[in-house]
Amino acid sequence: MTELIGKTKLYEMADEIITKCDNAACEIEFVHNSHGLTRLANSTIHQNVYIEQTGVSIRVSRGDRIGVSSTNLLTPAGLFDCLINAMEIMKASEPLPGFPGPASKADYRQTKTFVEATANWGPEERAKVAYDAIARGRQDGLTLAGAVETTVGEVAIANSNGVKAYQPLSAFACNFVAMDGQKDDPPSGYAALTGRDAGTADFAGTIDRACRKAVLARNPIEIEPGQYDVVLEANAFCELLEWFNMIALGARSVQDGTSPLTGHIGDKITGENITLTDDAYGGPVQGMPFDFEGVPRQKLTLIDRGVAKAVTYSRYAAVRDEVEPTGHGFGPGAMPSDAMPLNVRMTTGKKTLDEMVSMLDHGIQVTRFHYVNGLLDTRKAVMTGMTRDGSWLIEGGKIKHAIKNLRFTDSMIEAWKRIDAVEKTTHSCAAWWSAIGCYEVPAVLIRQFTFSGKTGKGS
């Protein structure tokens, strides 16, 4: 089991730093994590890595002048050098008008983000899952690739206003690509899983899903690009939602005029089947109850039945709009204006995945997208990307053929107005910050989704 530093020791280090700040306001962020990763390719475990690291960021300020410095040295000398660097940067920096200084002391709700069973996982447990995937693939003559990983860590925040916040974290994630043979770009299937408790995770079901998809993806045909009714499975829809989150749902992008929500808070921007919340307190994967500035996390309704309702605010971004921060700031280790939802959930609908597929007279079912680019026109949330690891032509509500990969290009603002059905369950989808939170996403049915080209590759 990874040994946590613990809040007592982290708070002691923070107090020592604060006493040496020469009357400057001071904010300290500790992020300690260990990451174990086992990879497989060509039905062989080919890599096992483990990394443990701790990062410390210190932000000091006097009025509207700030200085930030970071280190991975937890010795008294290392921390003091980091503080001195921040102090010198502050003295030489240009003013940042409106910078509010550190957050005030607050109370935080409790969330469960640490599971000892996950913390106890090591290379043997990860290897067993990988071997099980390889064995399951052999039953259908499939070659397996993928990864199994666990993360254990802790976050501590402290400042000169008396803020002290601590949260232990654990998470697991896995993904598997089952391929029909070893030729270039063979038909393939994909499945993934993430959560906090590796001890109760359905790895076998996830592996089986990837393998069944690969079998179903055999002998793909080529179809012409165009507008198709589509069922996007959770992994496919999550790729779009993750990009939308990054370009649209932070106050900074709204203030800069690059978000599709700019000038449209209170307006209906998507169809009624889109309700997005950021909620660290509900769902199967809870998040931290505070942000990296020590502000309590709020549950936010971001889009309510298509109506833009809110975006996330750091303390500095909130000053600019004369509102309260929402508890989503990235703290000393990032730009003062940076904030983003980290526990995004989409409200479910009333259909099963199979029922949505049965609603397609002539359409496509997509497992996932990759190489998505969401920066084409952020004001309209125009994105492009490619299907991958299993797509199927649907005729009369049933799968007719596996198809070769296609490129899509569409505005999500417009496409999401055409969502006709939503799955009645959500799926936890990993993000790069999965130890802190993840996406909870259902599958969706979108009418007349635009596929703009062929990739010339298999399924």
331, 353: one domain = yes
Q: 83 is in which domain, residue-wise?
A: 7-215
Residue 459 covered by a domain: no
CATH of the domain at 28: 3.30.2290.10
32, 181: one domain = yes
| Domain end point (choices 187, 215, 243) | 215
Q: What is the 3-state secondary structure (H, E, C) of the chain?
A: CCCCCCHHHHHHHHHHHHCCCCCCEEEEEEEEEEEEEEEEECCEEEEEEEEEEEEEEEEEEECCEEEEEEECCCCHHHHHHHHHHHHHHHHHCCCCCCCCCCCCCCCCCCCCCCCHHHHCCCHHHHHHHHHHHHHHHHHCCCEEEEEEEEEEEEEEEEECCCCEEEEEEEEEEEEEEEECCCCCCCCEEEEEEEECCHHHCCHHHHHHHHHHHHHHCCCCECCCCEEEEEEECHHHHHHHHHHHHHHHCEHHHHHHCCCCCCCCCCCECCCCCCCEEECCCCCCCCCCCECCCCCECCCEEEEECCEECCCECCHHHHHHHCCCCCCCECHHHCCCCCECCCCEEECCCCECHHHHHHCCCEEEEEEEEEEEEEEEECCCCEEEEEEEEEEEEEECCEEEEEECCEEEEEEHHHHHHHEEEEECCCEEECCCCCCCCCEEECCEEEEEEEEEEECCCCC
pLDDT (0 to 100) of residue 2: 74
434, pLDDT greater than 80: no
Residue 62 covered by a domain: yes
pLDDT (0 to 100) of residue 336: 85
274, 186: one domain = no
Per residue in 387-402, pLDDT (tens digit) is 999 999 999 999 999 9
pLDDT (0 to 100) of residue 458: 59
Mean pLDDT of 444-453: 98
Query: Residue written as tokens 């833009």?
Result: 308
384, 253: one domain = yes
246, 130: one domain = no
181, pLDDT greater than 80: no
Per residue in 260-293, pLDDT (tens digit) is 999 999 999 999 999 999 999 988 899 999 999 9
188, pLDDT greater than 90: yes
191, pLDDT greater than 70: yes
204, 267: one domain = no
pLDDT category of residue 333 using cuts at 50, 70 and 90:
confident
| Domain end point (choices 198, 215, 232) | 215
206, pLDDT greater than 90: yes
pLDDT (0 to 100) of residue 459: 58
Residue 333 covered by a domain: yes
Mean pLDDT of 208-235: 97
Per residue in 3-32, pLDDT (tens digit) is 899 999 999 999 999 999 999 999 999 999
Contacts of 226 (CB under 8 A, 6+ apart): 450, 451
Residue 1 covered by a domain: no
Q: Is the sign of the CA dihedral 304, 173, 373, 394 positive or negative?
A: negative
164, 117: one domain = yes
| Domain end point (choices 215, 249, 264) | 215
Residue 411 covered by a domain: yes
Residue 2 covered by a domain: no
Among the ranges given (29-33, 375-379, 452-456), the one the predictor scored with the smallest mean pLDDT: 452-456
159, 193: one domain = yes
Residue 262 covered by a domain: yes
Rounded Cα gap, residues 121 and 38, in angstroms: 12
197, 225: one domain = no
154, 85: one domain = yes
What's the structural domain count of the chain? 2
Residue 194 covered by a domain: yes
Instruction: Return the percentage of the chain with pLDDT > 90, whole number.
Output: 94
CB-based contact 276:268 (threshold 8 Å): no
403, 311: one domain = yes
pLDDT category of residue 312 using cuts at 50, 70 and 90:
very high
Per residue in 69-123, pLDDT (tens digit) is 999 999 999 999 999 999 999 999 999 999 999 999 999 999 999 999 999 999 9
118, 244: one domain = no
Mean pLDDT of 406-414: 98
